[in-house]
């Protein structure tokens, strides 16, 4: 049990310690290895999940086997609430990007908490609202931004979530392959690689396996606009 990470989850926002411990105690635990699938798009299942450690990717498949990544989730983030509130199949496939520990909450258990504790409902609504905001930004970027602009934006987003400040810049251990990074940007691997190589040649970033160091944040931010 890692209550500190769990308490970062929107589900726990506003709960005092005793209630947070009771909610944590009602949750199950799942451990996944890199590449293991937690659920598939279209599955009928309505548990709620919270990431305690590791990273999960949420992806959708399109025609001709193409994949698009909706999000990379890290510790404290929650997913699986759409099937809970809008009963229907899972809207994406959840796969472990690294070894992960995940907490689970059954539908009936959550409903009990929601009816008794408005703070829990508010926490969930907060996350839904933030996700809609982000989804609107992603749509706007797909319409208005070019691929390098979207790559720059994605690097900054990954840096905000997983970055670590070092002497020479912000080290971002994103754990993604180049293919996954391209799926997150929503462009071909070739185009995304070209943009990354261009940023590296200009000295804005340094590329490393499954990580990147942002050396010139100002330039990357300017390119993301």
* Interatomic CA distance for residues 191 and 148, integer angstroms: 8
Smallest distance, ligand CMP to C-beta of residue 53, A = 18
Write out the binding residues for ligand CMP, residues 97-136 only, by CB under 6 A: 131, 135
- Residue 16: phi and psi, rounded to 5, are -75, 170
Distance of CA 21 to the CA centre of its chain: 25
Binding test (CB under 6 A) with ligand CMP, winner from 9, 38, 58, 158: 58
218 by Cβ neighbours in 10 Å (0-12 / 13-18 / 19+) ranks as exposed
Q: Is the sign of the CA dihedral 166, 168, 169, 172 positive or negative?
A: negative
Which residues 6+ apart lie within 8 Å of 206 measured at CB?
Answer: 169, 200, 212, 213, 215
Piece of 74-82, 146-154, 187-195, 205-213 that binds ligand CMP (CB under 6 A): 74-82
Smallest distance, ligand CMP to C-beta of residue 58, A = 4
Binding test (CB under 6 A) with ligand CMP, winner from 61, 68, 91, 104: 91
Binding test (CB under 6 A) with ligand CMP, winner from 12, 79, 199, 204: 79
Binding test (CB under 6 A) with ligand CMP, winner from 81, 157, 175, 180: 81
Piece of 4-12, 84-92, 185-193, 195-203 that binds ligand CMP (CB under 6 A): 84-92
Q: Is 68 near ligand CMP (CB under 6 A)?
A: no
Looking at residue 145, what DSSP letter applies? -
CB-nearer residue toward ligand CMP: 90 or 171: 90
User: Nearest CA to 104 among 170, 192, 26?
Assistant: 26
Piece of 7-15, 88-96, 145-153, 180-188 that binds ligand CMP (CB under 6 A): 88-96
User: Nearest CA to 211 among 152, 167, 162?
Assistant: 162
Q: Which tokens in the block code for residue 159?
A: 């840096």
Binding test (CB under 6 A) with ligand CMP, winner from 90, 103, 153, 174: 90
Residues that bind ligand CMP (CB under 6 A): 58, 70-71, 79-83, 90-92, 131, 135
């Amino acid at each position: 049990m890692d209550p500190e990470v769990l308490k970062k989850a929107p589900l726990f926002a506003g709960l005092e310690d005793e209630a947070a411990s009771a909610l944590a105690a009602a949750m199950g635990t799942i451990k996944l290895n890199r590449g293991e699938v937690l659920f598939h798009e279209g599955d009928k299942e309505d548990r709620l999940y919270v990431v305690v450690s590791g990273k999960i990717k949420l992806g959708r498949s399109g025609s001709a086997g193409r994949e698009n990544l909706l999000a990379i989730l890290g510790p404290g983030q929650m997913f699986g609430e759409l099937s809970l509130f809008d009963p229907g199949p899972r809207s994406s496939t959840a796969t472990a990007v690294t070894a992960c520990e995940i907490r689970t909450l059954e539908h009936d258990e959550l409903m009990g908490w929601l009816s008794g504790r408005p703070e829990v409902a508010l926490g969930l609504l907060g996350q839904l609202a933030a996700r809609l905001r982000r989804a609107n930004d992603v749509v706007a970027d797909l319409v208005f931004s070019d691929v390098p602009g979207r790559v720059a934006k994605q690097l900054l987003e990954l840096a905000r979530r997983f970055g670590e400040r070092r002497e020479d810049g912000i080290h971002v251990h994103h754990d993604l392959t180049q293919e996954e990074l391209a799926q997150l940007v929503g462009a071909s691997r070739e185009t995304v690689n070209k943009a990354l190589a261009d940023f590296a040649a200009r000295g804005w970033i340094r590329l490393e396996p499954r990580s990147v160091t942002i050396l010139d944040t100002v330039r990357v931010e300017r390119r993301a606009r």
